[in-house]
Chains A and B, each alone.
Chain A
Amino acid sequence: MPRVTPLHSRVGPLCQGSRWEEWSGFLTATMYELDHLHEYNAIRTGCGLFDVSPLLKYDIRGRDAVTLMNRVIVRDAKKCRIGQVLYTTWCDDDGKVIDDGTVSRLADDHFRLTAAVPALHWLQHNAIGLEATVEDVSEQIAAVSIQGPTSRDLLAKLTNADLPNLRFFHCTQADVAGADAWISRTGYTGDLGYEVFVEPQNAVKLWDAMMELGDSYQMRPAGTVALDLARVEAGLLLIDADFISAAQTMFDVQKTSPYDLGLAWMVDLEKDFFIGQRALREEKEKGSRWLTVGLELDVTVMEKFYAEWGMPLHLPDRTWAEAVPVFADAAQTKHIGRGTSGTWSPVLKKYVVIARLRPEHAKPGNKIFIEEVIEAVSYSVPATVVKMPFFDPPRKKAWGAEAK
């Protein structure tokens, strides 16, 4: 039986269709209204408020906390300043991604890691020989995420934190709605946004305070369907959609390295030893099997395919996440990879897909074909390789004077 989060007394009644799904063992709303588009629009034009309490959170403390972080993640934890947050993956010995998440440095000897799949055992096991403790604080900390252009202004009403000077991927301790909180300028929407972490007993107070201001800032509570749409626009990967955890499959073909996932920028081969380093060095030298990139589909051609059946163009109004074949040619003779998640982007007015392709076909501007099945017939829709993120508004990173 899934359990409920500390915010259930609030999100429960709001979830009109009782459209719940399970996230790390907790009930989480997929959408609050019967359709997700209001929620999506709120994220891009006002702001969306999410209950992200089920997020798995681990505190790593001790003299060797930085060494433990560095053993596990592919980025250099030594370079992470206090108050900085890193997006990172962690890998197995073969350099295959186990999970991705964020690492925040809360103090010199204190890191907090967020994860999608349970990581306690992995972290504890890897603390071998180190003076570092690992604690699962998932249920000791509730969290809301407020995402969208008005999020800063709304949050500013409730906190003493210097929000304009809190930079993207940084965090700070502050008072929010009368409670001790950590504010982290992160999220899963590629927009201006914040995650606010508080003790569970303060969660409702925080939520209520935000809801009270909500109308003035076009805020809506938002669920996972709207979030999933926003994250594809932002080019952010999702476990079990864009990759499978190396810890959850026995088959090498299903495992992916950070290079395969287009995350080469985060792999620091020069830093101290980390798990998978040897394998990733080798992979860097020999080349990777895959590269993850963005695709923009040619919907005018798609429209013609539908017209052959006397149908209007059909576009997905929410993110699909399944393996869709990608080919080098319209005749579908040369298979070169797969789309892993895709959606019609309302804000961009484009059909965008996250795809994992053979590197030689993954150069931006390259024309390829992705399968679209209409009435059980397979069609090849032309698409162009593009860089991600698809949607990247300046407000996402703006700070200081630009953030007024």
Chain B
Amino acid sequence: MAAHDVIVIGAGHNGLVTAAYLAKAGRRVLVLERRESIGGAAVTEELMPGFRVSSLADGPGYLSARVRRDLKVESRVEILASDSVAFCPQPDGSQLTIWRDQARTIEEIARFSRADAEAYPGFVELMSRIGDVLGALMEMTPPDLPEVGMQDLRGGLGLFGPLRRLGRKRIGDLLRVLPMPAEDLLSEFFESPVVKAAIGASAMLGISFGPREAGTAYTFLANWAQSGNGLFRSAGVVKGGMGALTEALGDAARGFGAEIRTGTPVEKALVRDDRVVGVKLADGEELEARVVVSNADPRTTFEQLLEPHTLDASFTRNLRAIKYRGSSVRVHLAVRELPEFSALAGGDAAALRGPIQIAPSLDYVQRAFDCTKYGRCSENPYLDVLIPTLSDPDLAPEGQHVVSITARYAPYALRSGSWATHRDTFADVVVGTLAEYAPGIRETILHRHVLAPTDLESTYGLPEGNPNHGEMTLDQFFHMRPIPGYARYRTPISGMYLCGAGTHPGGGVTGIPGHNAAREILADAK
């Protein structure tokens, strides 16, 4: 008999969540991770001597409440919330901070527009309602759409239950809003460019689109649905960095009996007569299991772990059509002292504990995006900055800080040159941009570590540097994620499943794909 019932390929957070749930249900689970550490895109690494950073993801807020509860995450790791949700310094030296506290936020907004301040509560209310519905849809297994019908209706109104809750009028709102550009949606409520950017920019963090592109309202709402704080984005950090969160998930899985092996790349899933029978490791060892779950993205799973020429032509056509195209560069700075933002002079330093957004207007973000259409990096990038050491000083030597920046937009596929040469040029632009808001920062930099889209691909296994195993756009969501007809975590190979960000509801450290996949695997075993 095989030593394991289930093999999970990849110890990203979703693989760990799947492993934990399956182990909890009594399955003998083995997790195989290519890298030396677990966590995938949610890791803490000492990228600069003495400075530990959340290499890619750094915001833990999206982790689903259910996963937190079921896997007792909070008892294993400390999540440090931030009162500030977005600190937005402006070129003219002013600033807008969005706080979790609505009254405080309204005061801030009023400095830019009274009308916007008045509109804010109603906006939050409506978005939260729609977000709740999307949130409920995210937790379910999508139907196979061409076949949607009686079965889904009988299944306790699976699909329509959440929509019903919204009421007839708001279903209309939802359908109208989803395909819109985020900018249009925000302009229906707000007039100030500063306010619109403060609220809307972060929706562009994970997609290669600007806020004027159709469908970005969906991305905006999807973020809202998962932020966990009733707002457009989450804020806060994990004590010990994001790696501590995935270590906690790993502990949960081990606690239920799962085994995790790192430094163990899987070369192939082994298939006999359209059924998975185990995996072959890069070192040639073969391990048996009746269920194999891939935490790798769909392209890697179907083109590398499986033999694509044994898959149906319509399937491979859809597989090829999945859009990845990442456009983020991560720049980590080790700084001698806390950067001073001119816009904050005399203000509440707590504003710096949350995300710092260098995005004075949505036009600015759109222009930053426009370059990528032509394969160029933005010269005035939109920056999302976090100083985790303000909440978690242990990450750096005493008194010193980590400044982690997600810089946009910088396309994976450059029209000219390569990332080997652009990496530092673009990082210079990023630091230069930041220095316009925090003038002394350059002189305080001790180390700099830059991760280009190609590094995201080669080091972290994210094809084309896409953070979400495929773009989170309207055409790649729900029953279309990753491939129409295969959105239910199953694959054409029986016994083989997907559990990563490439599946519904997508990327972010939510744990929902992992949770949903485990649910489907257990359902199939019945």
**CB < 8 Å neighbour of A128 from B274, B309, B314:** B309
Residues from chain A with a CB closer than 8 A to the CB of B303 are 128-129
Which residues of chain A are near B315, meaning CB under 8 Å?
93
Among A92, A128, A130, A278, which residue has its beta carbon within 8 angstroms of that of B320?
A128
Q: Which residues of A contact B317 (CB under 8 A)?
A: 125
Q: Is the Cβ of A67 less than 8 Å from the Cβ of B309?
A: yes
Q: A125-B320, A129-B303 are in contact. Are A93 and B313 (CB under 8 A)?
A: yes
Q: Is the CB of A273 within 8 A of B314?
A: no
Are the C-beta atoms of B310 and A128 separated by less than 8 Å?
Answer: no
Known: A125-B317, A128-B303. A93 touches B308 (CB 8 A): no
Interchain CB contact under 8 A, B314 and A130: no
The CA-CA distance from A307 to B491 in the complex, in Å, is 65
Contacts of B274 in A (CB 8 A): 278
Among A35-80, those with CB < 8 Å from B are: 64, 67-68, 71
- Indicate whether B312 reaches chain A with its CB closer than 8 angstroms: yes
Q: Is B307 an interface residue (CB 8 A)?
A: yes
Q: CA–CA, A129 to B268, complex, Å?
A: 13
Closest chain-A Cβ to B305's Cβ sits at a distance in Å of 11
Of the residues A64, A125, A272, contact of B313 by C-beta under 8 Å: A125
- Taking the closest CB of chain A, its distance from the CB of B274, in whole angstroms, is 8
Tell me whether A288 is interfacial, beta carbon within 8 Å: no
- Cross-chain contact B308 with A128 (CB below 8 angstroms): yes
CB under 8 Å from chain A, chain B span 286-344:
303, 307-310, 312-317, 319-320
Residue B316 contacts which of A64, A68, A125, A278 (CB distance < 8 angstroms)? A125
Q: At the interface, is chain A mostly helix, strand, loop or mixed? A: loop
Q: How far is the CB of A71 from chain B (nearest CB, A)?
A: 5
Residues of chain B contacted by A125 (CB below 8 angstroms): 313, 316-317, 320
| Contact residues, B213-251 vs A (CB, 8 A) | none
Q: Which of A67, A68, A92, A129 has the most CB of B within 10 A?
A: A129
User: Who on chain A is nearest to B315 by CB?
Assistant: A93
Give Cα A93 to B492, complex, Å.
Answer: 13
Q: For B309, give its contact among A92, A93, A130, A278 (CB under 8 Å).
A: A130
1/0 contact trace for B120-151 toward A, CB 8 Å? 00000000000000000000000000000000
In-complex Cβ contact of B314 among A68, A93, A129 (8 A) = A93
A126 proximal to B (CB < 8 A): yes
Give chain B nearest CB distance to A125 CB in angstroms.
Answer: 6
- A-side interface residues, number (CB < 8 Å): 16
Closest-CB distance, A50 to chain B (whole angstroms): 33
Q: Please measure, in the bound complex, the distance between the C-alpha atom of A111 and the C-alpha atom of B319, giving whole angstroms.
A: 27
A275 interface residue (CB < 8 Å to B): yes
Cα(A126)–Cα(B313), bound, Å: 7
Most chain A CB inside 10 Å of its own CB: which residue of B303, B313, B319: B313
Cα A278 to Cα B309 in complex, Å, equals 14
Binary B-proximity of A276-294 (CB < 8 A = 1, otherwise 0): 0010000000000000000
Please measure, in the bound complex, the distance between the C-alpha atom of A128 and the C-alpha atom of B298, giving whole angstroms.
14
Q: How far is the CA of A68 from the CA of B308 in the complex (A)?
A: 11
User: What is the minimal beta-carbon distance from B425 to any residue of chain A, in angstroms?
Assistant: 35
Complex-state Cα separation, A128 to B319, whole angstroms = 10
Separation in Å of the B423 CB from the closest CB of chain A?
30
Check B309 against A71 for contact (C-beta < 8 Å). yes
The answer for the CA separation of A126 and B309 in the assembled complex, in Å, is 7
Q: In the complex where A128-B303, A129-B303 touch, is A273 in contact with B316 (Cβ < 8 A)?
A: no
Q: Within the assembled complex, what's the spacing in Å between the Cα atoms of A67 and B313?
A: 14
**Centre residue among A64, A71, A128, A273 by max chain B CB count within 10 A:** A128
A97 to chain B, nearest CB (A): 14
B314 nearest CB neighbor, chain A only:
A93
Residues of B within 8 A of A64 (CB): 309
- Hey, which chain A residues are within 8 Å of B307, CB to CB? 129
Q: Cβ of A128: which chain B residues have Cβ within 8 Å of it?
A: 303, 308-309, 316, 319-320
In the complex, the chain A residue whose C-beta lies closest to that of B309 is: A71
Cα–Cα, bound, A129→B310 (Å):
10
Contacts of B313 in A (CB 8 A): 92-93, 122, 125-126, 275
A273 lies within 8 A of B310 (CB): yes
- The answer to whether B312 touches A275, judged by C-beta atoms less than 8 angstroms apart, is yes
Question: A126-147: which residues lie under 8 A (CB-CB) from chain B?
Answer: 126, 128-130
Query: Which residues of B are found within 8 Å of A67, using beta-carbon distances?
Result: 309
A125 CA / B144 CA spacing, docked (Å)? 25
In the complex, which residues of chain A have a beta carbon less than 8 angstroms from the beta carbon of B310?
71, 272-273
| A125 CA / B309 CA spacing, docked (Å) | 10
Which of B308, B309, B315 has most A Cβ within 10 Å?
B309
Q: Please report the C-alpha to C-alpha distance between residue A275 and residue B316 in the assembled complex, in whole angstroms.
A: 11
B residues 264-297 with Cβ under 8 Å of A? 274
Give Cα A130 to B303, complex, Å. Answer: 10
CB proximity of B26 to chain A, nearest CB, Å: 33
Bound form: Cα–Cα A363–B297 in Å: 52
| Complex alpha-carbon distance, A277 and B438, angstroms | 64
Complex CA gap A125/B316 in Å reads: 8
Report A-chain residues with C-beta under 8 Å of the C-beta of B314.
92-93
> When each residue 178-206 of chain A gets 1 if its CB lies under 8 Å from chain B and 0 otherwise, what string results?
00000000000000000000000000000
17 contacts between A and B (CB under 8 A): A67-B309, A68-B309, A71-B309, A92-B313, A93-B312, A93-B315, A122-B313, A125-B317, A125-B320, A126-B309, A126-B316, A128-B303, A128-B309, A128-B316, A128-B319, A129-B308, A278-B274
Other A-B pairs beyond A92-B314, A125-B320, 10, CB < 8 Å: A64-B309, A92-B313, A93-B315, A125-B313, A126-B313, A129-B307, A129-B308, A272-B310, A275-B312, A275-B313
